[in-house]
């Protein structure tokens, strides 16, 4: 199967060796996305809700660059710095996945890059 690196300028670049996403056949695997604002290159200001919203926008941009969408996401893994912030994270997450949300695993991580509150990675299929 053909393997294609997905890259979009709509997501801030990182200074570590990774691809924003990889497309293999009809599947897309994204790297974990942080709530980095493309305009500033910094984490979105405003707490867990703002970071989660920006994470979802960054995932959306990578998926669209690969020919997919949030509606085609089948599985996500979510890392949070504090499980006590699940309520505001879930509130925003459900706005982006209102119907038939993807399968999901959620972990509390001891620390996330840049002091982020949330990081999400996704597995999706390419649109027909």
- CATH number for position 61: 3.30.1330.40
- Per-residue model confidence (pLDDT) at position 112: 96
| Whole-number percent of the chain with pLDDT over 70 | 99
Average pLDDT over every residue of 12-23: 91
Domains identified in the chain, total number: 1
- Give tens-digit pLDDT for 110-120: 999 999 999 99
Distance CA 30, CA 86 (A): 22
- Give tens-digit pLDDT for 52-104: 999 999 999 999 999 999 999 999 999 999 999 999 999 999 999 999 999 99
In terms of residue numbers, what domain contains 58?
Answer: 3-125
Question: Given the structure tokens 């993807």, which residue do they identify?
Answer: 102
Distance CA 90, CA 17 (A): 30
């Amino acid at each position: 199967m053909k393997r294609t690196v997905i890259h979009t300028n709509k997501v801030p670049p990182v200074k570590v060796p990774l691809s924003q996403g990889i497309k293999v056949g009809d599947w897309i695997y994204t790297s974990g996305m942080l709530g980095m604002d493309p305009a500033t290159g910094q984490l979105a200001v405003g707490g867990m809700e703002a970071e989660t919203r920006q994470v979802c926008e960054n995932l959306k941009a990578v998926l669209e660059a690969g020919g997919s969408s949030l509606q085609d996401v089948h599985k996500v893994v979510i890392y949070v710095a504090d499980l006590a912030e699940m309520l505001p994270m879930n509130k925003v997450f459900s706005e982006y996945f209102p119907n038939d949300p993807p399968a999901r695993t959620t972990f509390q991580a001891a620390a996330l890059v840049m002091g982020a509150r949330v990081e999400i990675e996704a597995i999706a299929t390419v649109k027909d």
